[in-house]
Amino acid sequence: MPEFSNKEKIVIMGAGNVATWLALVLHKTGCEIDVVYSRTAASARKLAAKVNARWTIEADNIDSDAGIWIYALTDQAIIDTVARAGYKKGFLLHTAGSLPLDILAGHSANYGVLYPLQTISGGGMPVFPRVPVCIESNSPGGLARLDSLARSISPLVFGVNSEKRLFLHLAAVFACNFTNHMYSLAEEIAGRAGLPFEMYHSLIRETAEKAVASGPLKSQTGPAVRNDEIIIKKHLDLLSFSPQTREIYDRMTQSIRNMTRTPTENDD
């Protein structure tokens, strides 16, 4: 299989956050986005205009001789859309962290996965050169071609199979989604005292930087690490307004203790 060339046409299946980011990045590197598909005309038209492409809301009847088809939809939408697509001559790719490679089997001779490990939202698209991109393909030739495509997006390219990618996705939920939810809870708790969330901006940045620089386990601080029962009880009492948040605090405290405690000679 020939190496990826930015002269070949690309179809973007989707117009959400990941699809938009990929389309904009690929367009910026000189790739030709031929068609943008979305279930809604407004979103398809909007993204297509940004990358000088045609647009459609008919997933089953796309008129294109594109060499690459990128399915950047929700997991179930990828499964449903691919199942209806029939057999294609192009290189089919999906962008999901939690779907296996073989959902594309039988729909093309050449297929793979192009999974950017990043939180991508319309309010703040990441700077593309620093996003890790995970790739997998059904053949060595396909993997080489996919590696070439991925490196046009980012220098941080990793070969990750379906099983490992699922673990990667799970860990990302903890590192990103759950962490962000903790920020929401912190904002709610601070708000009860009339304190603005911006007071925590510096703390959030410093915590993240230390986790990256020294590792999260070494960087862990707080009353759970110190076994400060007096402060922990005060915190639990303050959380009486929300039994659910109180339970989260209690479980997180125990989890931190389990991970940071000093092993004893009685441990296995």
* In the chain, % of residues over pLDDT 70: 93
Over the chain, what is the mean pLDDT?
Answer: 91
CATH 3.40.50.720 range(s) for the chain read: 9-160
The least confident of 14-28, 46-60, 118-132, 196-210 is 118-132
- The dotted CATH code for 9-160 is 3.40.50.720
Predicted TM-score of the model (pTM): 0.88
What pLDDT, in 10s, does the model give residues 237-258? 999 999 999 999 999 999 999 9
Query: So what's the pLDDT on residue 268?
Result: 39
Tokens, residue 29: 């590197």
Q: Are 36 and 51 in contact (CB under 8 A)?
A: yes
- The dotted CATH code for 166-260 is 1.10.1040.20
Name residue 164's amino acid.
K
Tokens, residue 258: 């389990």
* In the chain, % of residues over pLDDT 90: 82
Q: Are 24 and 46 in contact (CB under 8 A)?
A: no
- pLDDT average, residue stretch 85-99: 91
